[in-house]
Structure 1
Amino acid sequence: MAAIPFIPGIPPFWIVLLNNIGLAALVAMGLVLLTGVGGLTSFGQAAFCGFGAYTTAVLTTAYGVSPWLTLPLSLLVSGIAAVLLGIITVRLSGHYLPLGTIAWGIGLFYLFSKLEFLGRNDGISGIPPLSIGNFRMLDPGTIYFAIWIGVLVSALLTMNLLDSRTGRAIRALRRGHIAGEAFGVQTPRAKLLVFVYAAVLAGLSGWLYAHFQRAANPTPFGAHAGIEYLFIAVVGGAGYVWGAVLGAGIVVILKEILQSYLPYVFGGQSQLETIVFGILLVVLLQLAPTGVWPWLTARLPLKPARKEPDTSLPLAKRERAPASAGTLLQIEKARKQFGGVIAVNDVSFDVQAREIVALIGPNGAGKSTTFNLITGVLTTTGGTISVLGHKVDNAPPQEVVKLGVARTFQHVKLVPDMTVLENVAIGAHLRGSSGAISSMFRLDRADEAKLLAEAARQIERVGLGDQIDQLAGSLSLGQQRIVEIARALCVDPLLLLLDEPAAGLRHMEKQRLAALLRQLRDGGMSVLLVEHDMGFVMDLADRVVVLDFGTKIAEGTPAAIKTNPDVIKAYLGATA
């Protein structure tokens, strides 16, 4: 399906069918990026097809503009509509997002059918065909080439985009925004980018559809078509570019077969094909729940060749204030209150340069909340938090990481269907500069090679070089935590925040982790860690801060903390 050749003598019916497959594949390709990769479910993509189709229909019939000149205008109108709708839509989450897309999809369908200059329900007819010189694409067998060239070029650009710094940022969205933002990803911008890109592909499909059918009316651009496009993406494989093409082929051909032959089988009764079609799709998804494309590729013996990152390529250090001595992190009377619950109660401590500080306490003591206050995931109710003298108590995570603060999470936040290398490279997001356009045209290769080289170096540094090509979701919990540390090291941080890094590690793995952290400290990096393994903490930390019910009850050297009566009481109870 990747490149369908033209076969002389093929019946016109199959040419029309292939054209319809190509048009549907373009829209589904956008949904692969939007829904399968970015995690944003949309039922309204058919409306963007309408923008593309009606733009060229109006310009060519009413103003005599050349069809080729209307192509950039059709894409522009679809993109502008996506920006206006996306600014509102991408802010929604949960079930509100798909409901929002259904709402404006229905609204635009009725708008198309009511506007006089769009021909109301009758639409616009007499759209001129595409032509190159004297060659006019009047029949399905000639416009076939334009449609499938559009499919192949779009597939190539989409795969290039996914295989880039921007693509990794988009893929990180599916697991939530917190991890991506902790490494500098601008979540609203990334969501809007993928929303607009999907709309532009739909607009291209609409433009081709208008010149294929030589007419445009509201019927193909309603909510029903939007739902069908999403079906196509899911059936083919929601996270796979070629899955969109395969899914379009399956759905279009299956519908045509059912509509052609079921009336003969059941004596002409109508609408049965819709019921059978739904049943067959459910059965298909039971057999291949992640889509037909990954189901097929998993059974093929061929594996794609992978180029090893060139670890000799240097990646420039990030520019920021030096921290060879002095205070890196200063927390003064930090407070966080959720309603009537005080999670962090006027906590004060600091982290000096070249120091390992442990933040310990019983479960629910407020340790992870303190981490979230430092890194901008939560805003403080009171007090101040400063990094290198810059106040960050109400700064977004993207600004905190720019100061050289990187972190891991209590609950691992990796993208399970990305490799270890790709997950770790997300940590170097701010150290790259290439954008979406340069990525699509492969102008980012030098920048990309340096980012992957840095990720490979950090993976080797933490001792997971043998797992570099494995999917992150296939690793043990302990290994996933080490991958998170490698990702944080890609930031080139001054201060590393580790939330329970030793959880799930075996004894020897803990020893190697402790050796790594000492090496980082001796190299000039400071570490603030939350950990429940007291043996690990006491052997590693230079200083220990103890929280209990959100309040700091002790601070000092490990030796002093071991004998502190308040600490013993908090951990073992008053009787002990």
Structure 2
Amino acid sequence: MKRRHLLPAALLVLGLLLPLLPTPEYWISLLNYIGLYALVALGLVLLTGVAGLTSFGQAAFVGLGAYSTAYLSLTYGLSPWLGLAAGLALTLASAWLIGAVTLRMSGHYLPLATIAWGISLYFLFGNLEMLNKYDGLSGIPPISIAGFELASGRSIYYLIWFVVLASVLALHNLLDSRPGRAIRALKGGGMMAEAMGVDTRHAKVVAFVMSALLACLSGWLYAHFQRTVNPSPFGLNYGIEYLFMAVIGGVGHIWGALLGAALLTVLKDVLQGLLPRLLGSSGNYELIVFGALMVALLQYAPNGLWPWVRRVFPPPARRGPPPEAEPLRTGGKPAAGEKVLEVKAARKQFGGLVAVNDVSFEVGAGEIVGLIGPNGAGKSTTFNLVTGVLPLSAGDVRYRGESIARLPSREIVLRGIARTFQHVQLLPAMSVLENVALGAHLRGEYHPRGGILASVLRLNRREEARLLHEAARQLHRVGLGEFLHVEAGSLALGQQRIVEIARALCCDPALLLLDEPAAGLRLQEKQALAGLLRQLRADGMSILIVEHDMDFVMNLTDRLVVMEFGTRIAEGRPEAIQKDPAVLEAYLGGVD
């Protein structure tokens, strides 16, 4: 057996045998708590580590799951399984509502909002007469499976850990899918994700709801394990501890949630017994140790402890191309002579600053047009107006006869416009193949806002095969076929720019917008890029390119549009632009 398989295999065998051996009941209870806490930490890995959204209120969703099943079991005598269904439904509705409101916030406002609603739900549990206020509910019946009651810690042990491992598998399946890549793209910035067709608001809510459902599952198991519930375990302190678990284990790693839950639970148990004896008085001194531990961890291991485990037991490396699959459907290309893009008196003002001043130009089918000018001329702002990143202050932008001036980025890319960025926007921890596959987000078989359940259950294999096959095809097309499974962040800057082009091509565009694609490329790489763009033009694709390398654009483009201070000052063929007095004035500061 390979070394990397030894530790998981040993832990699995040990976990299966422990309840059958004369193990102390205390150990079994401790492992049960680790499993319950790991479920909540798994949700925080998805929400915070993957999606980049911080929440301190997950303990409140644990309370929703616990109180739902406890109340229905005790008041109406319903089965715990019906209590689970009710808890999940209530959590789904409340998390969707809370997420739709709070996830619009950014910066420090979002964590503060999660603290606010977490505290609100905690006090709600403690003040409702029907929930027996702060005394809580007791005498909760055990879970029964096929007539066998899980009334002890040993008997419920297997159910808890089955749910934990099933949740780990479900998250693995989700993150290795099209919806999972959309959620992972959130951490790289909303602008790039939206430009690839991702509905970022919906993706945030999905991550939030799924993390809440995992917390609800933990609460349901907790209620029937403890057989009593009260508000104490669902307060802000526990919400902070759950976040500690995710961060200590490795907030960006699924297995890190289990590692963090185990370490913090065991450490807390040891410190609660040791510190009062050392200090001579009782109190929550372990929180002081946790705080010091967190500071040290953020200083010396900001990615948590799981990356250290992976160095000792590395996962199997992925090699080779993805399996052959049916090609994705492609859109129709514009006819020769068709006007693909029309920018008509486009204007953008930021307060009193006019960044783009009534700029007009066209791009025809199978044409490469360069947009050039000194720094600060408004070129990238014009790109952002065309792609919906910024709204127009006045004027119009038309694509193949249709006005797209008021459409969001994800609607524009759906129509056949794809782009790269002035500053490379890749997800460095994802493979090159996965980064490029993000460009095909809107070309999947499922609805772009759906497919979550299919991904979790791995029913999307055909879709995934087609998307990855298309991504690999585009990488071979741009000459990076040997880097499929390399982390994108490990590539040189010039290679990362080529990866961005491959990702844009994965969108199946008729119009490709390239923002300084030759920046950082060596001479041979520039020549290869120019050859690729000429081939794309020959295939009928239209290209609008912003570039500062004058030799590159002069030898490549059919026409040039020159901007200065947000205004178009010249337009024509490269040889005419080179002699234009206004252009020489802008670039050289004057002519003889």
User: TM-score with structure 1 length normalisation?
Assistant: 0.97
Distance 1:353 1:297, change over 3 A: same
> For residues 209-241 of structure 1, what are the alpha-carbon distances to aligned partners after superposition, in whole Å with 9 as ceiling and x for unaligned?
100110111111111111111111111111111
Q: Does 1:414 align with 2:426?
A: yes
Partner of 2:362: 350
8 Å CA contact 1:46–1:105 kept in 2: the answer is: yes
3-state SS, counterpart of residue 331 of structure 1: strand
Q: Does 1:477 align with 2:493?
A: yes
Partner of 2:414: 402
Alpha-carbon distance between aligned partners in 1 of 2:152 and 2:197, rounded to the nearest angstrom: 50
C-alpha displacement of 1:433: 2.5
> For residues 337-356 of structure 1, what are the alpha-carbon distances to aligned partners after superposition, in whole Å with 9 as ceiling and x for unaligned?
10000011000000000000
Alpha-carbon distance between aligned partners in 1 of 2:315 and 2:539, rounded to the nearest angstrom: 40
Alpha-carbon distance between aligned partners in 1 of 2:96 and 2:454, rounded to the nearest angstrom: 20
Partner of 2:441: 429
Partner of 1:261: 274
Alpha-carbon distance between aligned partners in 2 of 1:41 and 1:320, rounded to the nearest angstrom: 43
After superposition, residues 62-77 of structure 1 pair within 5 angstroms as: 62-77=75-90
Q: 2:525 aligns with which of 495, 509, 515?
A: 509
8 Å CA contact 1:177–1:187 kept in 2: the answer is: yes
Q: 1:446 aligns with which of 440, 462, 465?
A: 462
Percent identity between the two aligned chains: 59
Aligned residue type for 1:410:
Q
8 Å CA contact 1:43–1:101 kept in 2: the answer is: yes
Partner of 1:31: 44
Alpha-carbon distance between aligned partners in 2 of 1:95 and 1:307, rounded to the nearest angstrom: 41
- Range that drifts further, 219-228 or 323-332: 323-332
> For residues 57-88 of structure 1, what are the alpha-carbon distances to aligned partners after superposition, in whole Å with 9 as ceiling and x for unaligned?
11000000011222122111111110110110
Q: Does 1:141 align with 2:161?
A: no
Unpaired runs of 5+ in structure 2?
1-7
Q: 1:231 aligns with which of 231, 244, 252?
A: 244
Q: Does 1:499 align with 2:511?
A: no
C-alpha displacement of 1:307: 5.8
3-state SS, counterpart of residue 5 of structure 1: helix
Q: 1:286 aligns with which of 264, 283, 299?
A: 299
Aligned residue type for 2:38:
A
C-alpha displacement of 1:291: 0.9
Alpha-carbon distance between aligned partners in 2 of 1:539 and 1:320, rounded to the nearest angstrom: 28
Partner of 1:572: 588
Distance 1:141 1:311, change over 3 A: closer
3-state SS, counterpart of residue 414 of structure 1: coil
Aligned residue type for 1:69:
L
Alpha-carbon distance between aligned partners in 2 of 1:12 and 1:533, rounded to the nearest angstrom: 72
C-alpha displacement of 1:90: 1.1
C-alpha displacement of 1:134: 4.0
> For residues 357-392 of structure 1, what are the alpha-carbon distances to aligned partners after superposition, in whole Å with 9 as ceiling and x for unaligned?
000000000000000000000110011100011101
- Range that drifts further, 262-271 or 128-137: 262-271
3-state SS, counterpart of residue 469 of structure 1: coil
After superposition, residues 172-571 of structure 1 pair within 5 angstroms as: 172-268=185-281, 270-300=283-313, 302-306=314-318, 308-310=320-322, 312-319=324-331, 322-434=334-446, 435-571=451-587
C-alpha displacement of 1:143: 1.0
Alpha-carbon distance between aligned partners in 1 of 2:380 and 2:414, rounded to the nearest angstrom: 21
3-state SS, counterpart of residue 443 of structure 1: coil
Alpha-carbon distance between aligned partners in 1 of 2:36 and 2:528, rounded to the nearest angstrom: 54
8 Å CA contact 1:309–1:449 kept in 2: the answer is: no
8 Å CA contact 1:311–1:454 kept in 2: the answer is: no
C-alpha displacement of 1:460: 1.0
8 Å CA contact 2:321–2:484 kept in 1: the answer is: no
Aligned residue type for 1:484:
E
Q: 1:92 aligns with which of 100, 105, 108?
A: 105
Unpaired runs of 5+ in structure 1?
none
3-state SS, counterpart of residue 298 of structure 1: helix
3-state SS, counterpart of residue 316 of structure 2: coil
Alpha-carbon distance between aligned partners in 1 of 2:533 and 2:93, rounded to the nearest angstrom: 49
Q: Does 1:102 align with 2:115?
A: yes
Alpha-carbon distance between aligned partners in 1 of 2:411 and 2:513, rounded to the nearest angstrom: 16
Partner of 1:20: 33
C-alpha displacement of 1:575: 5.9
Q: 2:16 aligns with which of 2, 5, 15?
A: 5
User: TM-score with structure 2 length normalisation?
Assistant: 0.95
Alpha-carbon distance between aligned partners in 1 of 2:102 and 2:469, rounded to the nearest angstrom: 37
Partner of 1:126: 139
8 Å CA contact 1:320–1:403 kept in 2: the answer is: no
3-state SS, counterpart of residue 378 of structure 1: coil
> For residues 7-53 of structure 1, what are the alpha-carbon distances to aligned partners after superposition, in whole Å with 9 as ceiling and x for unaligned?
11111111111011000100010111111000111101111111101
8 Å CA contact 2:136–2:228 kept in 1: the answer is: yes
Alpha-carbon distance between aligned partners in 2 of 1:424 and 1:450, rounded to the nearest angstrom: 13
Alpha-carbon distance between aligned partners in 1 of 2:332 and 2:51, rounded to the nearest angstrom: 32
> For residues 258-289 of structure 1, what are the alpha-carbon distances to aligned partners after superposition, in whole Å with 9 as ceiling and x for unaligned?
11122233334533332223223433443422
Aligned residue type for 2:395:
G
8 Å CA contact 1:336–1:344 kept in 2: the answer is: yes
8 Å CA contact 2:41–2:242 kept in 1: the answer is: yes
3-state SS, counterpart of residue 540 of structure 1: coil
Distance 1:286 1:473, change over 3 A: same
> For residues 189-226 of structure 1, what are the alpha-carbon distances to aligned partners after superposition, in whole Å with 9 as ceiling and x for unaligned?
11111110000000000000100110111111111111
Aligned residue type for 2:83:
T
